[in-house]
Amino acid sequence: MNVAEIVVTLGGLGVIGFLAWYFFGPKQSSAAQVKGNVQEIMVTVKGGYSPDVIRVKKGIPLRLIFDRKEAGDCSSRVVFPDFHASKTLPPFARTTLEFTPDKAGEFGFACGMNMLHGTLIVEEGEKAGEAADAPEAPHTEPAPGHVHEYAEAVGVGPTMPVSKTEQVEFALIGGGVTCPTCAVNIETALGSLPGVDDIKVNFGAERITANYDPTQITPEKMQEIIENTGYKVHLRSQPGTPDTEDKEAAERSAERKDITRRLIVAAILTIPVIFAVMTHEFFNPAWLPEFLLNRWLQLALITPVMLYAGWPIHRTGWLTLRHRTADMNTLITVGTIAAFAYSLVVTTAPGVLPENLRAVYYEAVGVIITLILLGRLLEAIAKGGT
């Protein structure tokens, strides 16, 4: 291996290591202390456990409330083999599992099919009676994130009056929510807020509903949190009324027009590039204009596709990535940016790469973005007709 190959290999390993840490590395746990004689923690079950790393105290009864928000066999049972505890989890219901962790250490738990995993960290602590006399500590929410969340089990103290909750509904028109992972990201973000419960995200119907405690949170704050994760929403203050329906119909129409404009730009600029590359690759005819294979021309044609046509995808993808999670937008963004950046280096500074590694991939960038926009336009048209 020459120096360039060694540098590229080490750089690739560094990127892989960073991505592994970024998505799967530990996040800072929240600090809380036992206040009563029972530890309690809520665990959401949807494609995994959230939180999936739970800190508890040894010798104090533990109550785990599993809020299962999915069907299927995979997550239908949870097993703590080190404590000989297990429980069947009915779909779309909350189920309580209680036991007393009698030994300190880190212990894994999993679903019945051993596909979903979590960790129970049992720390040395006071006995239940001693813990009850300890001063109460303020409760803090666990750090957000659905890949590796830490949580601290807190004791159940005196019964407090429960405030009356209200329901709020948001519309996801033009919000970029196109897959179940997007819905999980929104549920995780809202679930980290105080006073928010019973969150339902229907990306097919473009709706988010949740119950909230108006003394702790406002719908405007909830909307801000959702949009910070990369998805555009608006509050449906009067669902079902003619004004609301007319407003949403106008927004759907504006969304279709925006996607159509971006699709037209992407298609017009991508077709010459993909035609030239594929024709040259498979047939190499003498009549093919040489200038269509020029890298600088391809860069000029695909740059607007990347920066203008693909901007909504990149915006959502990067905002999602900023929260140490990913969805389909992130996959598209990372893939197209990698191909575009590599091709840009080959075009502007080919000498930094070996001669056999100087291929460009502008046509791949253009085709990916164009086809994604076409799919989203068809989806928007279908939704507008239902």
Tokens standing for residue 16: 């892989």
Tokens standing for residue 258: 């925006």
- Under 8 Å CB-to-CB from 64, ≥6 apart: which residues? 40, 41, 43, 54, 96, 97, 98
Considering the domain architecture, whether residues 296 and 183 belong to the same structural domain is answered as no
Q: Is residue 23 part of a domain?
A: no
In this prediction, residues 221-228 reach a mean pLDDT of 88
Of 188, 221, 243, which residue constitutes the final position of a domain?
243
Tell me the pLDDT tens digit for each residue of 272-327: 999 999 999 999 999 999 999 999 999 999 999 999 999 989 988 887 787 677 77
Q: Is residue 291 part of a domain?
A: yes
- Lookup result for tokens 């996801």: 172
The confidence score (pLDDT) of residue 51 equals 82
Tell me the pLDDT tens digit for each residue of 68-84: 887 766 678 888 988 88
For residue 143, the SS3 value is coil
pLDDT-above-90 percentage for the chain: 26
Considering the domain architecture, whether residues 215 and 304 belong to the same structural domain is answered as no
Which band of pLDDT confidence, cut at 50, 70 and 90, is reported for residue 350?
Answer: very high
Instruction: Check whether 42 has a pLDDT greater than 80.
Output: yes
**Between these two residues, 246 and 82, which has the higher pLDDT value?**
82
In this prediction, residues 54-73 reach a mean pLDDT of 84
Considering the domain architecture, whether residues 238 and 284 belong to the same structural domain is answered as no
Considering the domain architecture, whether residues 75 and 130 belong to the same structural domain is answered as yes
CATH number at residue 83: 2.60.40.420
At residue 63, φ and ψ (nearest 5 deg) are -120, 115
Whether the ω angle into residue 51 lies within 30 degrees of 0, i.e. cis, is yes
Q: Is residue 328 part of a domain?
A: yes
Instruction: Check whether 266 has a pLDDT greater than 50.
Output: yes
The whole-angstrom separation of Cα 191 and Cα 89 is 20
The whole-angstrom separation of Cα 41 and Cα 94 is 12
**Between these two residues, 133 and 240, which has the higher pLDDT value?**
240
Considering the domain architecture, whether residues 239 and 268 belong to the same structural domain is answered as no
The confidence score (pLDDT) of residue 115 equals 67
Considering the domain architecture, whether residues 202 and 289 belong to the same structural domain is answered as no
The confidence score (pLDDT) of residue 69 equals 82
In this prediction, residues 101-115 reach a mean pLDDT of 82
At residue 263, φ and ψ (nearest 5 deg) are -65, -40
Of 124, 155, 186, which residue constitutes the final position of a domain?
155
**Between these two residues, 28 and 86, which has the higher pLDDT value?**
86
- Lookup result for tokens 């080919």: 350
- When divided into structural domains, the chain yields a total of 3
Considering the domain architecture, whether residues 299 and 260 belong to the same structural domain is answered as yes
Of 243, 271, 304, which residue constitutes the final position of a domain?
243
In the chain the first and final C-alpha atoms are separated, in Å, by: 59
Tell me the pLDDT tens digit for each residue of 122-171: 888 655 444 444 444 444 444 444 444 455 555 554 444 545 788 999 88
Considering the domain architecture, whether residues 142 and 182 belong to the same structural domain is answered as no
Integer CA distances (angstroms), 332 to 46, 74, 272, 335, 365, in order: 24, 28, 22, 5, 9
Amino acid at 185: N
Q: Which domain holds residue 217?
A: 166-243
Nearest-10 crossing angle of helices 328-348, 295-304: 150
Considering the domain architecture, whether residues 380 and 346 belong to the same structural domain is answered as yes
The confidence score (pLDDT) of residue 341 equals 96
Considering the domain architecture, whether residues 270 and 345 belong to the same structural domain is answered as yes
The confidence score (pLDDT) of residue 141 equals 45
Q: Which residues of 257-270 are buried (b: 16+ CB within 10 A; e: fewer)?
A: eebeebbebbbebb
For residue 59, the SS3 value is coil
Considering the domain architecture, whether residues 100 and 192 belong to the same structural domain is answered as no
Amino acid at 331: L
What does DSSP say about strands 77-80 and 62-68: parallel, antiparallel, or unpaired? Answer: unpaired
- Asked if 168 and 212 count as a contact pair (C-beta separation under 8 A), the reply is yes
Which band of pLDDT confidence, cut at 50, 70 and 90, is reported for residue 113?
Answer: low
The confidence score (pLDDT) of residue 294 equals 96
Most confident of 54-63, 129-138, 231-240, 286-295: 286-295
The confidence score (pLDDT) of residue 128 equals 45
The confidence score (pLDDT) of residue 250 equals 82
- Under 8 Å CB-to-CB from 140, ≥6 apart: which residues? 30, 31, 32
- Under 8 Å CB-to-CB from 69, ≥6 apart: which residues? 44, 45, 46, 92, 187
Q: Is residue 5 part of a domain?
A: no
Q: Is residue 276 part of a domain?
A: yes
CATH number at residue 171: 3.30.70.100
Indicate if the alpha-carbon torsion angle 284, 285, 290, 295 is positive or negative: negative
The confidence score (pLDDT) of residue 6 equals 85
Mean of per-residue pLDDT scores for the chain: 81
Q: Is residue 11 part of a domain?
A: no
The confidence score (pLDDT) of residue 32 equals 35
At residue 182, φ and ψ (nearest 5 deg) are -60, -45
Q: How far is CA 280 from the centre of its chain?
A: 40
Tell me the pLDDT tens digit for each residue of 162-214: 457 889 998 887 656 666 777 777 887 887 788 888 888 887 778 889 999 89
Q: Is residue 75 part of a domain?
A: yes
Output the DSSP codes for 229-265: TT---EE-SSTTSHHHHHHHHHHHHHHHHHHHHHHHH
Considering the domain architecture, whether residues 294 and 222 belong to the same structural domain is answered as no
Q: Is residue 17 part of a domain?
A: no
